[in-house]
């Protein structure tokens, strides 16, 4: 598979290493300094693009890929106000677009566990839900895309919760998310239910970027030859060689 990397920071370099270990060729490494190099790539030069850039660059990168007919896997967060437009463009161009807020298999199992727990807690309003997410100091957006996905899973199951807020202080109709930026932490997410008598807590801790990068490469392998808008639920619903 001929892979184009859009974004060549720490995550892009980890994706490159894993893609090469799995036998793929990297045909381009694009960041803010050499974006003009995209023009040198023809439609058949790229089998799949993997987009891990920045909130400021993601939308333009995705539009470019869809115009060129390149299947694109995106893991950038902070641009999602335009997600519906990108998905519409994908369908109109008969393209292939895969988005996930987190590509780690473990995190996606955690998403499912989060929804199950929230469904149980619906019958126990004395417990108050809150979340904490911790990432490295270079992460630009807050809360993380993973935290937003977790919050949306809770909102989907708890009728009293209508929205999330990036604040510590709780509000009756909202899921509060505390965002901390510390050192080189790859990602830690905690969902907490607290009452006067006890607390219930589930937690996912990433030890490195390896799990995220592997999931993105597997998603790109899976996406080639498909048309439509996809996510991790689609990938995990089929057999994937991880």
Annotation-wise, does 209 bind a ligand?
no
Q: Are residues 127 and 140 in the same domain?
A: yes
Predicted local confidence at residue 105, as pLDDT: 86
Strand partners, 29: 5
Question: pLDDT-based confidence at 61, cuts 50/70/90?
Answer: very high
Cα angle for residues 148, 149, 155 (degrees, 5° grid): 85
Within 84-136, strands assigned E span 96-99, 128-135
Q: Are residues 173 and 54 in the same domain?
A: no
CB 223 within 8 A of CB 98: yes
Question: pLDDT-based confidence at 241, cuts 50/70/90?
Answer: very low
Q: Are residues 127 and 36 in the same domain?
A: no
Q: pTM score, two decimals?
A: 0.78
Q: Check pLDDT > 80 for residue 242.
A: no
Q: Helix %, strand %, coil % for the chain, to 5?
A: 40, 25, 35
- Average model confidence (pLDDT) for the chain? 94
Task: Say if 7 falls within a structural domain.
Answer: yes
Q: Check pLDDT > 60 for residue 153.
A: yes
Annotation-wise, does 239 bind a ligand?
no
Annotation-wise, does 136 bind a ligand?
yes
Question: pLDDT-based confidence at 138, cuts 50/70/90?
Answer: confident
Q: Are residues 21 and 38 in the same domain?
A: yes
Q: Are residues 61 and 27 in the same domain?
A: yes
Catalytically annotated residues: 135, 139
Q: Are residues 213 and 201 in the same domain?
A: no
Q: What is the arithmetic mean of pLDDT over 25-40?
A: 94
Task: Say if 199 falls within a structural domain.
Answer: yes
Task: Say if 241 falls within a structural domain.
Answer: no
> Is the Cα dihedral 188, 152, 104, 48 positive or negative?
negative
Task: Say if 242 falls within a structural domain.
Answer: no
Tally of domains within the chain: 2
Instruction: Please give the residue range of the domain that contains residue 76.
Output: 2-103+209-236
pLDDT digits (tens, 9 = 90+) for 186-240: 999 999 999 999 999 999 999 988 989 999 999 999 999 999 999 998 998 754 4
Predicted local confidence at residue 208, as pLDDT: 87
């Amino acid at each position: 598979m001929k892979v184009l990397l859009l974004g060549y920071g720490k995550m892009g370099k980890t994706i490159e290493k894993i893609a090469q270990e799995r036998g793929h060729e990297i045909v381009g490494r694009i960041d803010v300094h050499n974006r003009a190099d995209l023009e040198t790539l023809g439609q058949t030069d790229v089998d799949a693009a993997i987009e891990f850039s920045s909130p400021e660059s993601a939308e333009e990168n995705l539009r470019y890929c869809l115009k060129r007919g390149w299947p694109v896997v995106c893991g950038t967060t902070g641009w999602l106000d335009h997600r519906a437009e990108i998905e519409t463009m994908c369908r109109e161009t008969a393209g292939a677009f895969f988005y996930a807020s987190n590509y780690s298999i473990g995190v996606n199992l955690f998403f499912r566990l989060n929804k199950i727990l929230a469904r149980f807690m619906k019958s126990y309003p004395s417990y108050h839900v809150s979340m904490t997410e911790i990432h490295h100091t270079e992460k630009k957006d807050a809360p993380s895309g993973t935290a937003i996905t977790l919050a949306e899973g809770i909102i989907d199951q708890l009728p009293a919760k209508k929205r999330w807020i990036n604040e510590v202080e709780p509000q009756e109709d909202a899921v509060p998310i505390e965002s901390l930026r510390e050192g080189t932490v790859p990602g830690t997410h905690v969902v907490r239910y607290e009452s006067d008598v006890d607390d219930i807590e589930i937690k996912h801790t990433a030890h490195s970027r390896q799990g995220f990068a592997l999931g993105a490469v597997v998603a790109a392998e899976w996406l080639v030859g498909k048309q439509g808008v996809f996510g991790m639920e689609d990938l995990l619903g089929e057999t994937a060689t991880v």
